[in-house]
Structure 1
Amino acid sequence: MPGWKRSRQVITPRTGAARRSSPGWCAARWKGANMGADRRAEIKMTPAEQEEFLRPTGKMALSTIGPDGYIHTTALYYAFLGDEVAFLAKRKAQKVVNVRRDPRVTVMREEGEKYYDLRGLTLIGDGEVRDDRDALWTVGEYLYRTRHSGADDSPADVERIVERSIHNRAVIVVHPKRVISWDHRKLRAAQPAGKA
């Protein structure tokens, strides 16, 4: 109808109240949605940036699915087994039990306080529990080296410390299927002076 091009009434489902709508209003919403997608692409990290962000190591939030179906989340120091994120945990820990039952996991690391300083990475995928000595030793030694980088322990001391740290432990390796990243520092250039 010709009149629709100028304006039309829309009955909202909750209140039954009428509101004025127009093609211009719809176009603005669609444009906003596209701008949001563009903004997400703008702050996405490159593979090299993801590597640089994760390699200093630290803590990540590991989320698994508990026996009651609710999310079980813990913060753990992480390491690398090859190119994949890995955690060391007690063999009977709830997170290990969860991954053995249901491998779906999500891990996340974020840093920064102010909005334009925030950056982070989320990995969504499957977890694998490993308790072979090679995996345990690699992860245990990695955690020791990164958390005690200034220590002057002898090779024998390092071996003893790592051996003790992996006793009765298991490794959870994350095989990511999807990566989500954000680096709000990339938005600073678009901000007027003093706004960041």
Structure 2
Amino acid sequence: MAVAQRRGRRIMMSGPELDAYLTGQRTCRVATVSPDGRPHVGALWFAWDGTSLWLYSVTRSRRWADLRRDPRIAVVVDDGEEYGELRGVELSGTAVTVGEAPRSGEPCPELEPVEALFARKYFGIDAMPHDGRHAWLRLTPDAVVSWDFRKLP
């Protein structure tokens, strides 16, 4: 994973901090580019496997249509209320579809650990329920920028 951060190095997260943060957070905001060039942003649940961010998206969504046309994507995960509590991560790169779309549960070894992780994180169960409306997108980021204002003096 490339780190594109030059400014704010003193507030950027270390690798272990980044992994812990992305593993613990539940909601991200996903930005795509619409056909007219305007950005589209929407919230999604996600899973982080230590290398890639996995998004389970409705295949009949504007997000999905945008990514089929232009797979560039940016994702922000952030939290904090007061200025000194703000922290987050921006990941950007190219989204790749993994498995069938929409997902019906056909065997896909690459998705087995991701689906188990996602099912436990969001549903409290061991196996992923498939509704025939969603599919998996993988973002292995080309660039990562992070911040943790709690590190400021």
The question of a shared fold, defined as TM-score above 0.5 by the shorter chain, is answered with yes
- Mark the CA change 1:92 to 1:138 in structure 2 (over 3 Å): closer, same or farther: farther
Please provide the CA RMSD for this pair: 2.2
Matched, 1:92 2:60: yes
Distance in 2 separating the partners of 1:100 and 1:81: 23
How high is the TM-score relative to the length of structure 2?
A: 0.81
- Aligned ranges for residues 37-186 of structure 1 at < 5 Å? 37=7, 40-80=8-48, 83-132=51-100, 133=106, 134=108, 138-149=113-124, 159=127, 162-165=128-131, 167-186=132-151
Using the TM superposition, give the Cα deviation of residue 108 of structure 1 relative to its aligned residue in structure 2, in angstroms: 0.3
How high is the TM-score relative to the length of structure 1?
A: 0.64
- Mark the CA change 1:82 to 1:120 in structure 2 (over 3 Å): closer, same or farther: closer
Q: Is the 8 A contact 1:136 1:170 kept in 2?
A: no
Q: What amino acid does structure 1 have at the position aligned with 2:142?
A: K
Q: Is the 8 A contact 1:100 1:128 kept in 2?
A: no
- Mark the CA change 1:82 to 1:178 in structure 2 (over 3 Å): closer, same or farther: closer
Q: Is the 8 A contact 2:46 2:54 kept in 1?
A: yes
Using the TM superposition, give the Cα deviation of residue 171 of structure 1 relative to its aligned residue in structure 2, in angstroms: 0.8
Larger Cα-atom Rg: 1
Structure with greater proportional helix content: 1
Classify the secondary structure of the residue corresponding to 2:121.
helix
Distance in 2 separating the partners of 1:66 and 1:113: 31
Using the TM superposition, give the Cα deviation of residue 137 of structure 1 relative to its aligned residue in structure 2, in angstroms: 5.1
Using the TM superposition, give the Cα deviation of residue 53 of structure 1 relative to its aligned residue in structure 2, in angstroms: 0.6
Using the TM superposition, give the Cα deviation of residue 136 of structure 1 relative to its aligned residue in structure 2, in angstroms: 5.3
Deviations 1:114-173 (A, max 9, x none): 011111000011111223442555444322201234xxx6xxxx54xx3334x2321111
Distance in 2 separating the partners of 1:82 and 1:46: 13
Distance in 2 separating the partners of 1:108 and 1:69: 20
| Structure 2 unpaired stretches of 5+ | 1-5, 101-105
- Mark the CA change 1:81 to 1:101 in structure 2 (over 3 Å): closer, same or farther: farther
Q: Is the 8 A contact 2:58 2:133 kept in 1?
A: yes
Distance in 2 separating the partners of 1:66 and 1:170: 19
Distance in 2 separating the partners of 1:77 and 1:178: 20
